[in-house]
């Protein structure tokens, strides 16, 4: 592992252990076994390193969900959503640090324009990818794709926050999918 990779890994760990705002450059350098100046050399600043660490943590978590859906043979959108939710929910206990880092990044984005812009871009990409996964339409263009991606992303973020606060209250993937189908069917009947 290179020094840059060590610093990035250490920053992710520090976000989880100390929090986004309480982590110092010295904490990261010590955790990485590096010199303090190496942060500036490789990343320009501690803030740039922390932002990258938070974004990478979110990306790693998204990759877990994507792999689960792509490896499954599901024929319908509801089956693909259930598979994605199962992968998400089953990964939460093992990847709690990713949940914490993501939550901290979202909170920090309200006060840091650079991370807000980075997260907004990454979130847009995630919505498009999620729409493609769930709808089984990689481009997932148009209003339907945008809406589906936004709903699935909001569901994932909401479940992540619920897992941090009250993990025992999380519904099963099947219950979530059934509830969404029921809401959709109810809305369709009301419009008729």
- On whether residue 178 sits in a domain, the answer given is yes
- On whether residue 129 sits in a domain, the answer given is yes
- On whether residue 34 sits in a domain, the answer given is no
80 neighbors 134 (Cβ within 8 angstroms): yes
Please name the residues in contact with 111: beta carbons below 8 A apart, sequence gap of 6 or more.
none
Residue 144 belongs to a domain with what CATH number?
A: 1.10.357.10
Whether the pTM exceeds 0.95: the reply is: no
Range of the domain at 139: 56-191
Please name the residues in contact with 184: beta carbons below 8 A apart, sequence gap of 6 or more.
none
Burial of 32: CB neighbours in 10 Å, binned 0-12, 13-18, 19+: buried
Residue 20 has pLDDT above 90, yes or no: no
Burial of 163: CB neighbours in 10 Å, binned 0-12, 13-18, 19+: buried
pLDDT, position 143: 77
Residue 140 has pLDDT above 60, yes or no: no
User: What's the mean pLDDT in 106-118?
Assistant: 84
Give the whole-angstrom CA distance, residue 151 versus residue 160.
14
Per the model's pLDDT, the better-predicted residue between 178 and 65 turns out to be 178
Domain count, the chain: 1
Give the whole-angstrom CA distance, residue 90 versus residue 45.
35
- The pair of structure tokens assigned to 157 is 């973020």
């Amino acid at each position: 592992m290179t020094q840059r990779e060590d610093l990035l890994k250490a920053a992710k760990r520090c976000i989880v252990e100390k929090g986004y705002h309480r982590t110092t450059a010295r904490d990261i350098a010590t955790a990485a076994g590096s010199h303090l100046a190496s942060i500036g050399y490789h990343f320009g600043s501690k803030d740039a390193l922390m932002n990258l660490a938070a974004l990478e943590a979110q990306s790693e978590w998204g990759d877990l969900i994507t792999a689960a859906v792509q490896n499954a043979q599901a024929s319908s959108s509801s089956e693909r959503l259930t598979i994605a939710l199962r992968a998400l929910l089953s990964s939460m206990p093992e990847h709690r640090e990713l949940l914490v880092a993501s939550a901290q990044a979202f909170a920090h984005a309200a006060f840091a324009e650079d991370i807000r812009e980075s997260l907004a871009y990454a979130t847009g990409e995630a919505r498009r990818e999620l729409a493609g996964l769930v709808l089984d339409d990689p481009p997932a263009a148009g209003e339907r794709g945008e809406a589906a991606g936004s709903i699935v992303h909001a569901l994932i973020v909401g479940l992540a926050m619920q897992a941090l606060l009250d993990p025992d209250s999380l519904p099963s993937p099947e219950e979530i999918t059934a509830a969404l189908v029921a809401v959709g069917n109810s809305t369709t009947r009301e419009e008729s």
